[in-house]
Structure 1
Amino acid sequence: MKLIRISTLALVATVTLGAGFAIAQEKEKAMDKIHFLIPGGAGGGWDGTARGVGEALKNSGLVETVTFENMSGGGGGKALNYIVENAKSNEGTLMVHSTPIIVRALNKTVDMGYRDVTPVAGVIGDYAAIVVGKDSPYETWDQLYAAYQDNPRDVAIGGGSAPGSMDHLVPAAIVQAAGSDPLDMRYVAYDAGGKAMAGLLSGEIAALSTGLSEAIALADAGEVRILGVTAPERVEAVADVPTFKELGVDMEFVNWRGFFAAPDLPEEKRGQYADVLKEMTSTEAWANVRDRNGWIDIYNAGDDFSSYLANQEADMEQLMKGMGFIQ
């Protein structure tokens, strides 16, 4: 079987600033307000990213007021449609999103994509992880995968997004890299990461595909065990967790998360948003949020961010076709 790798999708953690977004002078005062639109429910990666960024912006004094709105539904499509259809009233809004804005457009889960909004900046990278509940009989990835090989249908793997989405693609790529047919995998979709985690803890699924940051708090509390992480090397926040490469599975992946504004946003406003996010990444308040979540900095703004999205779209399309998820 041909090995499908998605390590090429990892966003290089290089600090670049898109043309036109250089900070011309020190800000005389904090930005008044940013409203964060979150396309999923509480407890998911989007929710954690938006609230973490908002916390850092507020605590560093860069923004006076931050507010949040969860708008789940349609695999993120409800929030995407809302910010597009109400562009004028949403000029003060930043919508958090990530790789699924590309994946879900490719698999037709949503009828809009990143070109329908204004890309502002990618901010963080979050590795993926496979986790099991604290009472799971599977203590290691090898044990879980052995059971999967015996009968893939008996080892359901869940995720906080629709079939064919990133939460589905990641474990599919892992089992393919391990030597199995990814189309044999039984994937159970939940609407948001918090519901998926609840499904894991209740025993509805054997394992969960999720962002590492979503799993860390529950792992620290002893509620779950993280079996493997898609990082190139061990992550300091969970130094006892092996990478899949250590486990003999040649697969790496990092999911970018960033922010988008309403379509036709004035270039000056786009630059202001990019600048304040850039300045945030150098603050102690941000370092505290980033490190406790096991994130990596991947700030990339403006035209550079747009170019990255186009390149990832081409990579994802090839990957999804190779796995049979799209034609």
Structure 2
Amino acid sequence: MRRDTFLKSMAVLAAAGALPLTARAAANLKMMIPANPGGGWDGTGRALGKALIDAKVADTVQYENKGGAAGVIGLAQFVNAAKGDVNSIMITGAVMVGGIITGKPAVSLDKATPIARITSEYNVFVVPADSPLKTMKDVVAQMQKDPGSVKWGGGSRGSTEHICASMLATKVGVDPKKVNYVAFRGGGEATAAILGGNVTVGGSGYSEFAEYIAAGKMRPIGVTSEKRLPGINVPTMKEQGYDVVLGNWRAVYGAPGITAEQRAALTELVVKATKSKSWAESLEKNGWTPALLTGKAFDEFVDNEFASLRGIMHLSGMV
């Protein structure tokens, strides 16, 4: 084959997305964010997209938000629409694992291709600034008195903040099945409910509440990390006497039906993005803990998460 004919053929294949990612200078990626705008997955996805471009491994990143059912609605759309598409990726994490366990959907996470875990974020619990409950001790006392009177607001049923509220109940002698949890489709809705006083306590990643905490509109009363987060003066649940430690990890999956080589190439793109200046800035700004994990180790991690969360959720009556 003549060289010019070969190059033209390669160009056609690249435009069609048929070449492995490593054969192209950069990719035009499509990212499914299975949540509404304004939440943790949305922030993670858009920060990763910026990092992919900053690392020069993607020319463009096109985002699609599809919230509902702990990300399972977006997952189903991704699996059905992106089969074999090496340019398609999806943001996911612990919340989706919980949603799959509780909802038992027809399409599960094993239908997509695992690429990499990228961050871990711990839940921060907050109350409205004018709440009569000033500390986690106040919240616990009220919950022990009347569990139903304490409304916990956060992500979908089975989310990490839901699990943490149930874990807390078991630690303080309250039936976890009596936890009054109000689920929201996205971080924006949950934030509005907290600010409006429609829930007693809100839970999410620190990044979602940071501006409201700084503005004095929310009061942080506990974080689910083992130790206090760097630069964030919020007491851990553990140091307050409540052994509640749980991280909310976030990850990237590829489309179903891609080859092992294409999975490896996508993994390489994500790893390069996590080494960019843009990504480092996002980690610092949002208080995210870097938690890169790929390959077989990531596959095993996800399997273990399903097993451990299923056990906790069964005890809490979520399953």
Rg bigger for which structure? 2
Q: In structure 1, what is the Cα distance between the partners aligned to 2:105 and 2:154?
A: 18
Out of 290, 303, 320, the position equivalent to 2:296 is 303
Query: Per-residue deviation at 1:280?
Result: 2.1
Q: In structure 1, what is the Cα distance between the partners aligned to 2:213 and 2:308?
A: 32
Deviates more, 1:60-69 or 1:42-51: 60-69
Deviates more, 1:142-151 or 1:195-204: 142-151
Output one character per residue of 1:118-142: Cα deviation in whole Å (capped at 9) or x when no partner: 1111000010121112222222111
Q: Which amino acid aligns with 1:224?
A: M
Q: In the alignment, which residue of structure 1 is the partner of 2:197? A: 203
Note if 1:57 corresponds to 2:52.
Answer: yes
Q: How does 1:1-327 map to 2 (within 5 A)?
A: 31-88=26-83, 90-108=85-103, 110-162=105-157, 164-238=158-232, 240-326=233-319
Checking the alignment, whether the CA contact within 8 Å between 1:105 and 1:111 is kept in structure 2 is no
Q: Which amino acid aligns with 1:157?
A: W
Q: Which amino acid aligns with 1:143?
A: D
Checking the alignment, whether the CA contact within 8 Å between 1:155 and 1:186 is kept in structure 2 is yes
Output one character per residue of 1:264-313: Cα deviation in whole Å (capped at 9) or x when no partner: 11222211211121122222221110011111111111222111111111
CA change 1:108–1:88 in 2 (3 A) is: closer
TM-score (norm 2): 0.88
Query: What fraction of aligned residue pairs are identical, expressed as a percent?
Result: 32
1:179 counterpart SS class: coil
TM-score (norm 1): 0.86
Checking the alignment, whether the CA contact within 8 Å between 1:97 and 1:260 is kept in structure 2 is yes
Q: Which amino acid aligns with 1:32?
A: A
Q: Which amino acid aligns with 1:236?
A: P
Checking the alignment, whether the CA contact within 8 Å between 1:124 and 1:296 is kept in structure 2 is yes
Structure 2 gap segments, 5+ residues each:
1-21
Q: In structure 2, what is the Cα distance between the partners aligned to 1:291 and 1:297?
A: 10
1:237 counterpart SS class: coil
CA change 1:110–1:166 in 2 (3 A) is: farther
Q: In structure 2, what is the Cα distance between the partners aligned to 1:94 and 1:218?
A: 31
Output one character per residue of 1:19-77: Cα deviation in whole Å (capped at 9) or x when no partner: xxxxxxxx797522222111110111111110111122223333221221111133322
1:107 counterpart SS class: helix
Structure 1 gap segments, 5+ residues each:
1-26
CA change 1:221–1:304 in 2 (3 A) is: same
1:191 counterpart SS class: coil
CA change 1:109–1:220 in 2 (3 A) is: farther
Structure with higher RCO (Cα < 8 A, 6+ apart): 1
Over aligned residues, Cα RMSD in angstroms? 1.9
Deviates more, 1:153-162 or 1:317-326: 317-326
Q: Comparing both structures, which one devotes a greater share of its residues to helix?
A: 2
1:69 counterpart SS class: strand
Aligned residues: 298
